[in-house]
Structure 1
Amino acid sequence: MISKHSHEQSSDGEGVEVIINEPYEDPIHGKGQYTEKRVYLNSKLPTWVRGFVPKIFYITEKAWNYYPYTVTVFQCSFLPKFQIRIETKFENNNGSNIRVFGEKPTPEDDVCYVDIASDDLSESYYRKIEDLRTFCSTKTGRGPLLQDWQETTQPIMCSYKLVAAKFEVYGFQSRVESFIHKNIKDILLAGHRQAVAWMDEWYGMTLEDVRKFEKRLQEETNCKVNSQKKSTDPNSEHLLNTGVGKHSINRSTSWNNATEASPYATANGNTDSKPRPRLPSAPE
């Protein structure tokens, strides 16, 4: 799903460039997959953000996937004090585990429940063919997800996300951190809807098939991102090859340590960003 989504969202020199995608073994979590990507998204930023960022910049995404446990870290190419960390755990329940990230239950005010079928989605993300209240898989017969599906569907899996945002820049900290938390739900909601709605495209694949699928789409996506940059900016090749290259990666980072305490950041401060129009997840 991530490979296909990245391919769809990449054009005109912006999108997702895959730098590394390779097996990795961790002493605690065992065998997994390490990926590093650069996300170019200048035109997608709000106007008040574009005013103080370079014309070409990227977000670095590093991910350690030891399914059913994963860690993803986002950092900015020119703002070392900016960071988003998402810790994920998958469990075979409907979201009922309030102690999934530690012995102490997560405070209720810090919990955001995401219903992939019935939650409203921003207009920019909504697609009728990905509406899970009407979707039905031709290969598996799964779907549609009707009212109270979380209580009646078996088997069922929940993806738990622990999101921490940090932007330690005076004058912008509260505004940016609030913006991140305000928008992260839509991103996760749209992505997990696609994971279900696109299942027929990869249902039945072996892991080897999945890696071939990833490799093909990553090569095509990288070409879409890089070809436009080289044609519009003679210095872009230099920009693309600076920063977090393969040889500078420290994969055995503390992000891999599941025992490390991680703060559960919540939105704070006020923001004057304009409300975005939203569409219902399904027709009335």
Structure 2
Amino acid sequence: MLVKEYRICMPLTVDEYRIGQLYMISKHSHEQSSDGEGVEVIINEPYESPMHGKGQYTEKRVYLNRKLPTWVRGFIPKIFYITEKAWNYYPYTITEYTCSFLPKFQIRIETKFENNNGCNARVFGETPTPDDDVCYVDIATDDITEGYYKKTEDLRTFRSAKTGRGPLLENWRETTQPIMCSYKLVAAKFEVYGFQSRVESFVHKNIKDILLAGHRQAVAWMDEWYGMSLEDVRKFEKKLQEETNCKVNSQKKTSDSKNDALLGSGRHSINRSTSWNSGTEQCSYATTNGSDIKPRHRLPSAPE
């Protein structure tokens, strides 16, 4: 198992980001979905934990088959999808990912949000995460993969019309107010002999790219969600959820009967418990060193 702690700062407060995060996830899921591909929301409802109190539970299926290389699609079944389970007790969340095709593959993300610039070394317990396993993600200056870059989301040039925040210049994490940090403890597990370290290292490289792109969007879309209430953003979330499900299901319905037969049931099995632990104790993760993976072509965050 390979574990890393990511720290992503943003020019927002924790209360503001609660709205921005819900808006960003809904809009991003809708943009990335098309006929038969993308994110299908299975469950989105209130949930209460004995330990964390009231929150929101969501379960999604992320269909990726056509986004994979041709040589990979040749041996992966068409029912291939990633299941995302999320328990949102804001400002604390747990998210787990499992794969329908690879049962030994799992990702667990534990997140805490705080109003600081990433200076809390003990956010996940009394024992700090080793420095070598801490990764600071700079939404303004880190290089971003070519497919994720959009000029309108370049935070070195972006300025919010509603708040006047931005652009994010050199040393912005030390000078910007307000500022918050999204602390994410990410554990990737792929227990297959001969592939474990390489796959887990590859997963973390991709997770970092996704975190960078998502948090950039939350800030770059600020003028779209700033001023919305929690009720407003929940209505927006529900509306886009329905539209996204329609996009994903438009071509998938024809194969549902085959999928149900292969999965063993025509009904979705609802299990809201975490698959790694009960959430009542601190996880003890053993880190491993992964092999270097050839990086994808990247673009500077703000090309000259």
Give the structure-1-normalised TM-score. Answer: 0.90
What aligned pairs does 1:136-147 form with structure 2 within 5 A after superposition?
A: 136-147=159-170
Q: Which runs of 5+ in 2 are unaligned?
A: 1-23
Q: Is residue 2:194 matched to residue 1:171?
A: yes
1:269, distance to aligned residue in structure 2 (A): 3.0
What aligned pairs does 1:1-284 form with structure 2 within 5 A after superposition?
A: 1-46=24-69, 49-230=72-253, 233=255, 235=257, 238=260, 247-251=269-273, 255=277, 257=279, 259-263=281-285, 265=287, 267-271=289-293, 274-284=294-304
Conserved 8 A contact 1:164-1:264? no
The superposition leaves residues 38-82 of structure 1 with CA deviations (integer Å, 9 ceiling, x where unpaired) of 001123335665454213311000000111110000001132211
Tell me whether 22-31 or 171-180 shows the greater mean CA deviation. 171-180
SS in 2 for 1:117: coil
Conserved 8 A contact 1:230-1:236? no
1:105, distance to aligned residue in structure 2 (A): 1.4
Within 2, Cα distance between the matches of 1:259 and 1:86? Answer: 15
Counterparts in 2 of 1:9 and 1:110: CA distance versus 1, 3 Å: same
Within 2, Cα distance between the matches of 1:57 and 1:73? Answer: 17
Conserved 8 A contact 1:63-1:71? yes
The superposition leaves residues 82-112 of structure 1 with CA deviations (integer Å, 9 ceiling, x where unpaired) of 1000110111111111111111111111111
Within 1, Cα distance between the matches of 2:95 and 2:28? Answer: 17
1:238, distance to aligned residue in structure 2 (A): 3.2
SS in 2 for 1:112: strand
Within 2, Cα distance between the matches of 1:243 and 1:93? Answer: 47
Conserved 8 A contact 2:257-2:266? no
Aligned length: 281
The AA in structure 2 aligned to 1:139 is K
Within 2, Cα distance between the matches of 1:126 and 1:42? Answer: 23
Within 2, Cα distance between the matches of 1:28 and 1:163? Answer: 21
Aligned CA RMSD, in angstroms, stands at 2.4
The AA in structure 2 aligned to 1:283 is P
- Identical positions, percent: 77
Counterparts in 2 of 1:245 and 1:99: CA distance versus 1, 3 Å: farther
Q: Which runs of 5+ in 1 are unaligned?
A: none
